[in-house]
Structure 1
Amino acid sequence: MGINIKDILIRPATKTDLPKLAEFLQILVETERPFDPTLKEGEIFYYDIEKLIEDKATEILVIDLDDQVIGCGYAQIRAAKAYEKHESFGYLGFMFVSPEFRANGLNRLLLNDLKKWVLSQGITEVRLEVYHDNETAVKAYEKAGFKKLITTMRCDIG
């Protein structure tokens, strides 16, 4: 579905967005299930969205098209490990665009606005996590300038 970028508003999330954001989170969980055999069955809440909206160290943005929320993502300032060069970094998460609106450059717009917010906090390091086998997402993030840093490995020894 082609959309006019001029009709897009990227804005901070509010509590009125909570029902839609909760819906997005469950769609995201279902999308990630095939990549992660450790996820429990049923509804999963990776984080408390309302608390993230209230948190001063977090900026949740939504993609608004004609007063309809069609995507979201957050940036959060996190402390770096003592041995890293930087004291803190911006962590990006909850990156989601409704399937019918994908391939319109919306994730790129959202990433750019989240990066701007992190920069406004005086921070230049940005990180995110993506499932290794989620090739579509990996390619999208590489196109946005991200590089692979570490791979988490697991083994079920039961």
Structure 2
Amino acid sequence: MEVITRSATVADLPVLAEFLQMLVEAERPFDVTLQRGRIIYYDLRELIESDESELLVLEKEGALVGCGYAKILKARAYLVYEQYAHLGFMFVLPEYRGMGLNQQLISTLKQWAVLKGIREMRLEVYEENTGAIKAYEKAGFSKLLATMRCSLD
């Protein structure tokens, strides 16, 4: 059976909350600044209910296997576009990776953004997360800016 892409619903929130914690755990090795314990990156309900965002899920045989969202944000005044679609919460269960599902999500989110009149999509990814970077480059993204930090402890 194929994996379908659909808009998330409020009924999906418990599984999405689990996916969020799995994503946090996957990102911990890349970011020493993350707090310990449970972290909430996103207001998932708001992403589902807002007209300015689209939270998608991947579903196979009634079970969720992945997710991702695009949210329209205001660009900085000096940039070419006034708004852009920010891509986030890109997650696919480990056993479903390598099947093109991330590309399926991104493609659908790009279509949503274009229908909303958006002409640019941006995302953030950890520099050391080479697998994710390769997947995003395959989807047409290119590196733009590196964020750097310095601990003052």
- Following TM superposition, where does structure 1 have runs of at least 4 consecutive aligned residues deviating by more than 2 angstroms? none
**Gaps in structure 2 of 5+ consecutive residues:** none
Aligned position for 1:100: 95
What is the CA–CA distance in structure 2 between the aligned matches of 1:125 and 1:90, rounded to whole Å?
6
Partner amino acid, structure 2, of 1:144: A
**C-alpha displacement at 1:54, in angstroms?**
1.0
Aligned position for 2:118: 123
Residue identity (%):
54
SS at match of 2:85: strand
* Alignment root-mean-square deviation, CA: 0.7
- Residue 129 of structure 2 is aligned to residue 139 of structure 1: no
What is the CA–CA distance in structure 2 between the aligned matches of 1:134 and 1:62, rounded to whole Å?
22
Aligned position for 1:43: 38
Question: If the length of structure 1 is used for normalisation, what is the TM-score?
Answer: 0.95
Aligned position for 2:49: 54
User: 1:46-94 CA deviation, whole Å, 9 max, x = no partner?
Assistant: 0111121111100000001111110000000000000001110011000
What is the CA–CA distance in structure 2 between the aligned matches of 1:77 and 1:121, rounded to whole Å?
9
Query: How many residues are matched?
Result: 153
Partner amino acid, structure 2, of 1:151: A
Question: If the length of structure 2 is used for normalisation, what is the TM-score?
Answer: 0.98
**C-alpha displacement at 1:143, in angstroms?**
1.2
What is the CA–CA distance in structure 1 between the aligned matches of 2:56 and 2:91, rounded to whole Å?
11
Within 5 A, what are the aligned runs for 1:14-33? 14-33=9-28
- Residue 3 of structure 2 is aligned to residue 8 of structure 1: yes
